[in-house]
Structure 1
Amino acid sequence: MENVIVIEQKTFEELMARFNRLAGMVDRFCRKAEEKRLSEWLDSTEVCQILQISPRTLQTLRDNGTLAYSQIVRKMFYRAEDVRRIVPLVEERRSLAALKGKTI
């Protein structure tokens, strides 16, 4: 046998209003988290294209600690802000290499 709980209409409406506010907050939080998750991380191919460097040069940037990364299984990911931060450094290295008749 099921129990039936009776509450006043005003109490029910207040409860529903609170629930709707909570649902809206959760929805906004999830959208914000999803946007961050997708927009802040780049894979190796994207980084090579942005910096106009070879995969080997990208590996050197990882190895010498110039560019931080995260590895998931066998794939490397880079924070977009870290990539933006090293653009001037890569340009400087490209200029120095060009003076020596080399490329990076």
Structure 2
Amino acid sequence: MSAVILTAEQYQDLVNRLEQVNKKLEEQSKPSHETFLDNQEFIQLMHISKRTAQTWRDEGKISFSQIGSKIYYKMKDVEVLLDKNYNKAFKNKR
């Protein structure tokens, strides 16, 4: 086994480069909030019917984009919908 000797400056440069690579990897692994779901993916994700999805759009509960007859939802908007309807757990008293 051989040893490598680095100066403090070389070591710090190596650490900085590793941190930059790690930061880039973390950024790439984060789910993008600009991901779009089509209507079928949205229905499957939420376990709802097409009619429920239509009702939610009509009532303004979920934002969407429409191109021709295709409907798309931003994943960010799905998260907002779920956050708005989030109910904290409450303690059961016995």
The normalised TM-score by structure 2 is 0.48
Structure ranking higher on relative contact order (CA contacts 8 Å, 6+ apart): 2
The normalised TM-score by structure 1 is 0.45
